[in-house]
Chains A and B, each alone.
Chain A
């Protein structure tokens, strides 16, 4: 048989007195293009009544045992092949033009998924008791559906999700309905003992192994409770029993039935109006609990991480003081330049040996330009503030710290934002991740090794991600430096090797570390190679170049580490 337009699905259980009329009303529709699917596990001979009806449009599905209303409803609908589904209760009758009327708007408006109608409640002899409004307030429907199921379990005509052929409406299978269908099948099979013990659990093991990071859905309990609440709510006040032993006759019966019917309908409506929001709230609560649990977990993990990091930072700070040889060092030298008691002016010394202001400005102009757009910049060990001056001129947000009050005074007199600070302690006070860049020019060669190590770890905390650290210091790979300049400055302790400094920054988690070589010795100082045509062996020039690399390598290096 070709797929019919409408599947009339009749879940049947112990309705022998009614099913004949019900089926007759379905088969006697003005719209003939239909099938009737009947599902059954009755014990009162209902199935035999159906089996005796000789219409080929009737499909009877008999079950070995009763599985409950929900499974029967789902199975009846699941077996529908028509374009539309109409669920009819086993003791209801349809008006003869019911299907034609209800399918018309579905065909005319593809966006419409469901069509409901009015109905009349009758007693067991078919006499009208109550004219009800549209489906939404229909107590019979709600009784059957438990009040909370999706609309497809209700009696209106709906588009059949599993229908064959070209669909009338959107044509896009509704996956949610298909999922519900799958789950109904699974439940039926589970009840039938179709899955041997352990089968599902064993097969789910793999999933648990692979997807371990997801928080367990503890709200499953809430959903189970919600289901129980749903199950407890069915409004099975049922049909009003009108049998009475009083001899007052039919008139009285009718009067009572009307009165009771009106009262009951009102109560049912009120209970329904109450039950729906309660169930909705419970549902919303279950979802909310899910969300909160998920968010809390992320937040708690963040807090834990912050604590871990804080502990790591504290460890870095504490370790030196816990080591005996470090603890023995006089605190005055910790984290600051070597302290000398000078009877001469440090300013004079700088002018004499480090070059005048103009010379310094020329030397650092290029570096200052690299710091544009990297603000705020801290010039750690700013000295007289030449770099700061350049930065300020370029509009870069910047300030300086120096351990020498005399230098700071000179800088401040020049209108520069310099502060006096005690070495690393002053850097610790800077807010974490607040710096776009930190410049540390000709400073580390004045520091104790432990302070150099600590300085790098500190910069990792203070510079924001993407920020950079610029460290310029003397290059110990150039022997010329030691002969000419390094020991001129009495506050120099020891040079820091670029390989060690690079290692420190890499270990501190910086994304990239680059070295620029600066201040090569003047050409006049470097060993000359012999001109090519003088007949000097090539080995001579090779040796000259080797010596130049060893003796006359660039005097400084600039390390740039990007976090």
Chain B
């Protein structure tokens, strides 16, 4: 098939779950013999949309990438509206919602004309993330001409309740979801009848992290540790985890440590039993997982959580945020994660995992089995190809 992906950012230097998700699909589909192109912006960072990559066509891992210039972000004016959207009980008139999404950007120069002129030459155009301007502006244009698939990568956040997106979710010819919870959320919020499937994201099963190397590098000795993997931000739950862990250790002294691996965006108080490694490379990350007692995934907003499946691939159990439907769903289905809501349950959950090693092992093994059955790349991509084919048939019969 000849596929075009539309995504706000694309490249090795780009950090971000949905963007990485998109790049993995594009690269792996290209490796399976499909012709894959990507329409994206020159930006690397979503906070300013500064044009970093050169514009025009480029090749990356067998994928043709067309980067468009993007208008600078008006952060001050965008965040004023974002704040209002995030305030409970306030709603925003539609014309201000439109203004908000334009200020959010990225306003990619020539996006709509490109899609208007070329979308029909692809077998399908696939959009990643409902949130940003390219999907909002591009999806209607592309859907008028060719089969389209939207990966909403949605979670229950304030923005998805904007009326602005009512039309966005009517346009695609099909949906690819990361989890069943995401599907339920979109169905509850928008209702839809287009073909859809829960695709998820593949996970590399052939990993062997070097725990010893990581322990040495992080100066951990043989202390048992819980692992937090990801950017250190409020919405990711890092602050809550840090607070819970601090109180846990104050109440239950012992060797247990918390290791925080990832870029610190919002800093946390220093403690002797909390180790910050900063951003590490893939090998070290796998080493960190291999040596961990369990992964802690405290994020409030998740539409999939790749770190969770990565931990399971290494047979590690997980403590997960009980207020995230997605994390609880994944934990329930796999048997590999223990959800907690609030400090008391966190404490009890840590006690259970620390005090019952055989249970922790069984949970890790169950997680691994779940990933093998559902998130092996081959399984995921076959499911994906079936969906795209189904969407194409849907459009053929509709037109």
Contacts and interface: CB of A to CB of B under 8 A. Distances in A.
A404 B107 CA distance: 40
Interface residues of A, number: 58
Interface of chain B, main secondary structure: helix
Nearest to A308: B93
Contact of B157 (A183, A213, A308, A465): A213
Nearest to B235: A210
B94 A212 contact: no
A560 to B, nearest CB: 9
A541 to B, nearest CB: 30
Interface string B120-160: 00000000000001001101110111000000000011100
A185 B348 CA distance: 7
Contacts of A295: 188
A308 B94 contact: yes
A173 B366 contact: yes
Contacts of A298: 161, 189
A163 B363 CA distance: 12
Nearest to B339: A179
Interface of B: 86-88, 91-95, 98-99, 102, 111-113, 116, 133, 136-137, 139-141, 143-145, 156-158, 161, 163, 167, 171, 188-189, 234-235, 237, 239-240, 243-244, 247, 300, 322-323, 331-332, 334-340, 342-345, 347-349, 351-352, 356, 358-359, 362-363, 365-366, 369
Interface string A161-175: 011110100011111
A562 B116 CA distance: 10
A18 to B, nearest CB: 32
Contact of B239 (A206, A212, A312): A206
A176 B332 contact: yes
A327 interface: no
B189 A207 contact: no
Interface string A353-386: 0000000000000000000011000000000000
A172 B335 contact: yes
B240 A465 contact: no
6 closest pairs, A vs B, by CB? A466-B140, A509-B98, A164-B358, A511-B137, A172-B335, A308-B93
B342 A203 contact: yes
Interface stretch (A53-61, A256-264, A299-307, A420-428): A299-307
A63 interface: no
Contacts of A206: 234, 239-240, 243
A305 B93 contact: yes
Contacts of A224: none
A329 to B, nearest CB: 26
Contact of A167 (B240, B356, B362): B362
A460 B91 CA distance: 21
23 contacts: A3-B358, A172-B369, A175-B331, A175-B332, A175-B335, A181-B352, A203-B247, A204-B343, A210-B234, A211-B323, A213-B86, A294-B188, A298-B189, A305-B163, A308-B93, A309-B95, A373-B145, A374-B144, A465-B140, A509-B95, A509-B99, A512-B112, A512-B137
B94 A466 contact: no
B338 A175 contact: yes
A484 interface: no
Contacts of B163: 301-302, 305
A243 interface: no
Contacts of B188: 294-295
A214 to B, nearest CB: 7
B113 A200 contact: no
A124 interface: no
Contacts of A3: 358
A237 interface: no
| Residue of A189, A213, A298, A506 with most chain B CB atoms under a 10 A cut-off | A213
Nearest to B190: A298
A512 B322 CA distance: 42
Contacts of A112: none
A213 B140 contact: no
Given A171-B366, A309-B95, A465 B343 contact: no
A373 B143 CA distance: 12
A320 to B, nearest CB: 18
A162 B361 CA distance: 11
Contacts of A304: 91
A201 to B, nearest CB: 10
B158 A213 contact: yes
Given A164-B358, A465-B167, A199 B91 contact: no
A215 to B, nearest CB: 8
A460 B351 CA distance: 59
A430 interface: no
